[in-house]
Structure 1
Amino acid sequence: MRLLALALTLLALLSVALAWTKEDHEIFDLTAQIEAAEGKDTNFYSWLEVPSTASIAEINKAYRKKSLQLHPDKNPGVKGIQERFARLGVVAAILRSSEGRERYDFFYKNGFPRWKGTGYYYARFRPGLITVLGFLIVLTSGLQYVAQRITYKRDLERVQRFIREARTAAWGPKLTPLEGPRKVRVNMGPPRMDDEGNVISGRALDMVVDGPHVFILEPDGNRILLDTSAATPPALKRTWFISLVNSLIRRVTAKSSEPEGAAQADEAAEGEASGSESTSTGYVSEGAMKNGKPTAATATTMAGGRRRKAVRKR
């Protein structure tokens, strides 16, 4: 409904723009002159200090009061007072006329066009960079999501066709289930014509029907279950912008966790280094000594960690 109302409003404004009369241009010129002389956003009603719903009597009363304030005889030597007083009379005449007030109220509610050198035009909306980027992101992500839905629907129909054709080939046209697995071949595509006009059959797919399940048979004998889950459903998180944001978040979190892992690795390396130093110094405990001499195990350690075979003297 909102879009319809907006479209109707734009059509109304367009029709008015194409049918502006001499009186309309007079209203536009007068409005621009009043804003220049009395201040920005000053309109006929605010200048007379009456509401837009004022009656003819209220407008006449406000006009008489304002004309006394702006009369040239009471403001001698004031620059532009003659023009202001003349404009006040034109404003009062327009608001007193039912047709003139109707035309003015239309532009008062919907906005006044602005002078653009060759004529009056409505100011066009000029979106900023952020607005344009946001619109493009929403548009491209929406189109990508629509493409995902179309692809999902097509893949789903293709999977269902393979399952149906495999069961038909295994059980017959009545689809009466038979016991035991049955190997069948299903055409992946319709026949086609080559350059010479010969009919070439489509590529066939080896499948196995085993009860309620249908499998794709690979050359090595492995079976891959074929069902509707093989088709990837559409998801907003797989659109390019959300995927990009998630990827950046994962990278940031991975980098923030790297210092902790590096610190733990350094501590572990320091522990290993201290253990190797205690071994290589050759420290021998009292229990490892017998009569002031190192035992065989201690000698092995002192020799560098390898137990060497003793060489007999001849």
Structure 2
Amino acid sequence: MRWALILVASLALCGTALAAWTEQDHEIFRLNDELEKHEGKGTTFYSFLGLDNGPSSSLEEITKAYRKMSRQMHPDKNPSAGATDRFARLGVIANILRGEQKERYDFFLQKGFPRWKGTGYYYARFRPGLSAVLVFIFLITGAAHYLILSMTAATERKRIERYISECKAQAWPNGYPPADNSKRRIQDQSGRTFVVYPDGTVWLADSATNEEYILDPDDIEPASWRRTVLYKFPVWLFESSFGKFVSVKNETSLPVKKPRAKTKSKTKAKKGEEGQEKTAEMELNKKVLSDGKVVEAATVTGGRRRRRK
């Protein structure tokens, strides 16, 4: 749950930062990168135009410098490769410095251009392939799956706790067990029967099987990364491919041992130990009520819930 919240918060921060850059900002970033790539590291819009005053240059100075540089960089006078792109870049830079975007460029020039790779600016420079997109979707799906498991477990636990409190309130109106320490059978609005015992446990009675299943919030399986697709899918993929060969190899590499013949005395001793363990287990599962009635408890197949016969 904690990691899912951290992931959601990180995505929200990235989305906020992405919304902070406008299309004009992206254009300034792109031109700045191209300028440093072709003209040299540290080249600015002002130095490219030959303006020594930098951001303090006036509109008249910028226009005059642009006209001078356009005559020098015109493709007709410079038939070299890349002259057309360099001349076009000059015109775009001059328009930025002579327009409203000049203030924005001066801000980034003073504060620094973004160096981190978390916005559309990064996407413009590096377009992720299909594999990167699939990995990202897989991670997001796993985090969402974990969040859903956490919410489901919390909801189910609250539901069981609510059933227990409602049944006890109905069975014990004064808030205390009955004086004779007897159990109370009640029914909810849907017709299900619950049994409240003096020890405070609440059991769901099944009329079809004549069994009672305990309501215990601790039986709710908590959320775990091992239950998400982040863990199950790689395990399934491994078992479906390489896992088959690994299991076969392990089985064939193990030496086959013949079982030893047991003596009659050891077999009897073993049976005696098993009988003692079984008796101890039955005693642990027995519950003696105040009226002298003995109730046995066993584990329900496929779950942690217990039942009473």
In the superposition, the TM-score normalised over structure 2's length comes to 0.48
Structure number with greater Rg is 1
In the superposition, the TM-score normalised over structure 1's length comes to 0.48
Relative contact order (alpha carbons < 8 A, sep ≥ 6): 1 or 2 greater? 2
